[in-house]
Amino acid sequence: MKDTGYSVNRSGELLYITFPKLSAADGVRHVFSTRKGGVSGGMYSSMNLSFRNGDSRENVLENYRRICGATGIDPARLVLSKQTHTNNVITVTSADIGTGVSKPDFCDVDGMVTAEPGVALVTHFADCVPLLFYDPVARVCANSHSGWRGTVQKIGAVTVEKMVKEFGCDPENIIAAIGPCICKDCYEVDLPVYNAFCEAGFDPEKIFKNSGEPDHFLLDLRGANELIFLEAGIRRENLDIAELCTAENSDLLHSHRATAGKRGSLAAIIEMN
């Protein structure tokens, strides 16, 4: 059977995704949501995990209770941020628990790192690339959001660098996952985006192909983040890459492009125990 880099799990009506290498590691819990098993209605149906897109707060809180309850994560210990497609990565501690839920959001933060157990880091997605990290030796975990702007700015490498500089992590020890995102056949971009990647030092032959339209290209965000991880020193054997496209599976996963923005948000959560 082909290794797809992810597992789909069921708890009643709830469907959620995990990554095999992180699942096999001691001392960490993680989950990536799907659309299934929540209480939200309409375009948010049914597992929406964003407080910022117009869904009711009560629905979102219940959705967190459900997905956290199925995976052993305490919903009272979540830390959320306001993502704005930066490569800003911050260190969080237990003092930050409740940020984005019962406390004001962090602003302009797309990645978080913690060395404390019981701090559940949350990032949101609807086509962008989820990046999860865990160093079982130094006992550090991280969670980052990488759209095309974050990918150009190599937020995956920035996250690894922060783990190394602040906590003494060795990249070769880091277990990582690239979660479900829009695939290279569904993600058409224009010439300015193409040029931004070239100017950032990416080899366009490795991550782009022609879309058939003048000055438009198909971008492999997943592949670009894999290159970033490997260049940052993460070993390929420690990396899960989910071969699952959000746009092609918009019945299962929220996709901004597939729904013209009428959608809820997925979440990636990671917490050391």
- What is the SS3 assignment for 160? helix
Q: Which amino acid is at 234?
A: I
- What is the SS3 assignment for 6? coil
- pLDDT score at 61: 98
DSSP 182-217: --TTT-EEEHHHHHHHHHTT--HHHHEEE-SSTTEE
Q: Which residues contact 187 (CB under 8 A, 6 or more apart)?
A: 127, 218, 219, 220, 221, 247, 257
- pLDDT score at 1: 34
Provide the β-strand partners of residue 130: 145
Q: What are phi and psi of 58, to 5 degrees?
A: -60, -40
Q: Scanning the structure block, which residue is given the tokens 């992590």? A: 169
pLDDT (tens place) for every residue of the chain, 273 residues total: 356 899 999 999 999 999 999 999 999 999 999 999 999 999 999 999 999 999 999 999 999 999 999 999 999 999 999 999 999 999 999 999 999 999 999 999 999 999 999 999 999 999 999 999 999 999 999 999 999 999 999 999 999 999 999 999 999 999 999 999 999 999 999 999 999 999 999 999 999 999 999 999 999 999 999 999 999 999 999 999 999 999 999 999 999 999 999 999 999 999 999
Strand residue runs (E) in the chain? 7-11, 14-18, 28-33, 78-79, 81-82, 89-91, 106-107, 111-114, 120-125, 129-135, 140-146, 175-178, 188-190, 208-210, 216-219, 239-241, 266-272
CA atoms within 13 A on the CB side of 90: 18
Q: Which residues contact 192 (CB under 8 A, 6 or more apart)?
A: none
Ordered by start, the domain boundaries in the chain are 7-183+220-272
7-183+220-272: which CATH number, 3.50.50.60, 3.40.50.10860, 3.20.20.450, 3.60.140.10? 3.60.140.10
